[in-house]
Amino acid sequence: MPRVVDHDERRILIARVVDDLVYERGVQAVTIREIASRVGYSTTVVSHYFSSKLDMLVFTHQQARLKVEALIEAAIIDKRPLVETLEQLLPLTEERWRDWHTWFAFWGMTPAEPDVTREWREGTSNAHSLFVRLIEQAQAAGQLANAIDSASAATQIQIFVNGIASLVSQHRAEWPPERQKALLRSLLQSTFALS
**What tens digit of pLDDT does each residue of 3-33 get?**
546 788 999 999 999 999 999 998 889 999 9
At 72, the pLDDT band (50, 70, 90 cuts) reads: very high
pLDDT of residue 5: 62
CA distances from 106 to 58, 156, 177 (A): 8, 22, 24
Residue 124 lies in a domain: yes
Residue % of the chain over a pLDDT of 70:
97
CATH of the domain at 37: 1.10.357.10
What is the average per-residue pLDDT within 166-186? Answer: 96
Compute the half-sphere exposure of residue 97: CA atoms within 13 Å on the CB side of its CA: 16
Nearest to 186 by CA among 88, 100, 87: 87
90 and 180 Cβ atoms separated by less than 8 Å: yes
What is the tally of structural domains in the chain? 1
Compute the half-sphere exposure of residue 175: CA atoms within 13 Å on the CB side of its CA: 19
**Longest CA span, the chain:** 64
146 and 139 Cβ atoms separated by less than 8 Å: yes
**Rounded to an integer, what distance in angstroms lies between the CA atom of residue 115 and that of residue 188?**
34
Residue 2 lies in a domain: no
57 and 109 Cβ atoms separated by less than 8 Å: yes
At 89, the pLDDT band (50, 70, 90 cuts) reads: very high
Range of the domain at 177: 7-192
pLDDT of residue 3: 56
Residue 57 lies in a domain: yes
- Amino acid identity of 40? G
At 195, the pLDDT band (50, 70, 90 cuts) reads: low
What is the average per-residue pLDDT within 157-167? Answer: 96
Residue 165 lies in a domain: yes
Nearest to 85 by CA among 107, 70, 63: 70
Question: pLDDT by residue (tens digit) across 91-144?
Answer: 999 999 999 998 888 877 777 788 888 998 999 999 999 999 999 999 999 999
Q: The whole model's pTM is what?
A: 0.87
Residue 64 lies in a domain: yes
87 and 184 Cβ atoms separated by less than 8 Å: yes
Residue 152 lies in a domain: yes
Residue 134 lies in a domain: yes
CA distances from 30 to 27, 38, 149 (A): 6, 11, 42
pLDDT of residue 105: 86
Torsion of CA 173, 131, 155, 187, to 10 degrees: -50
pLDDT of residue 194: 77
- In terms of pLDDT, which residue wins out, 76 or 195? 76
